[in-house]
Amino acid sequence: MQLNSHKQHKTADRTYSNWLNKIYDNSLEQCQRNGWVKLRELPSTYSHDEALLLCQVGKDEWLAWIPDRGEAVLHADQFEVDGNW
């Protein structure tokens, strides 16, 4: 008897990947112009941990304003949307 765990592993990976894509797409849909987001990494030691999205400049990129820092282009993996804003 031979177990085909490789096939099961591929199915699990695909399911997990689909789940991640759905979460990622939903979080990007929540991004709106003039909406605040939480930064995952601070651009500098003294900058704020939030940014105001100004406009989308690419599929996964946004022009944002960071208090005490100015404008910056943020990739979608550099911030997260908090439903409380």
CATH number at residue 30: 2.30.30
Quote the CA–CA distance of 77 and 85 in Å, as a whole number: 18
CB 59 within 8 A of CB 5: no
Any domain includes 85: no
Query: Is pLDDT larger for residue 36 or for residue 1?
Result: 36
pTM: 0.59
Quote the CA–CA distance of 44 and 80 in Å, as a whole number: 18
| Average pLDDT of the chain, as a whole number | 75
**Domain, as residue range, for 29:** 5-80
pLDDT at 24: 46
What strand order describes the sheet that includes 36-39?
70-75, 61-66, 50-56, 36-39, 79-80
| Best-predicted range by mean pLDDT (8-12, 15-19, 31-35, 59-63) | 59-63
* Total structural domains within the chain: 1
